[in-house]
């Protein structure tokens, strides 16, 4: 079986260097994380985010095809958030 990459541009768009469901502010990483951490089904994800089944499936497929890149972005964002929190926490405590 030959794996073929599907064109998901009808359902996925880039905003601020992050993939989102087209026309929505919902990041692909957020949908994938909700499925993974909360064990939500496709139907539950549709209800939770007010998305169609095809939008959810496209988002999950996009995440699967680009998981390393998306996870690296999330990890970098988390690290930066922690660093900023610590820096501003120290600044606040000095006052």
Helices within 1-95 (DSSP H only):
28-38, 42-49, 53-65, 67-94
- pLDDT of residue 43 exceeding 60, the answer is yes
Question: How many Cα atoms are found within 13 Å in the side-chain-facing hemisphere of 71?
Answer: 9
Give the mean model confidence (pLDDT) for residues 37-41: 94
pTM of the model: 0.79
Give the mean model confidence (pLDDT) for residues 35-57: 96
Considering the chain, what is the average pLDDT of its residues? 90
Please report which confidence band the pLDDT of residue 94 belongs to, taking 50, 70 and 90 as the band edges: low
């Amino acid at each position: 079986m030959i794996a073929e990459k599907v064109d998901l541009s009808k359902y996925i768009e880039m905003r601020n260097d992050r993939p989102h469901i087209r026309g929505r502010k919902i990041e692909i990483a957020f949908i994938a994380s909700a499925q993974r951490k909360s064990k939500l089904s496709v139907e539950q994800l549709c209800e939770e985010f007010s998305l169609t089944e095809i939008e959810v499936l496209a988002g999950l497929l996009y995440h699967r095809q680009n998981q390393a890149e998306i996870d690296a972005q999330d990890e970098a964002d988390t690290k930066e958030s922690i660093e900023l929190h610590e820096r501003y926490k120290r600044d606040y405590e000095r006052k």
